[in-house]
Amino acid sequence: MMKKRFTEEQIISILKQHEKGVKVTDIIRQHNISEQTFYRWKSKYGGMEVSDAKRLKQLEEENRRLKQLVGELTLDKQALQWIIEKNF
| Cα 28–chain centre separation | 21
**Residue 50, CB half-sphere, CA atoms under 13 Å: how many?**
5
Length of the chain: 88
Whole-angstrom distance, CA of residue 55 vs CA of residue 52: 5
Which pLDDT score is estimated for 82?
Answer: 94
Rounded to a whole number of angstroms, the CA Rg of the chain reads: 21
What pLDDT, in 10s, does the model give residues 18-46?
999 999 999 999 999 999 999 999 998 88
Domain edges within the chain: 1-48, 50-88
Mean pLDDT of 56-75: 96
Alpha helices, DSSP H only, in the chain? 8-19, 24-31, 35-45, 50-87
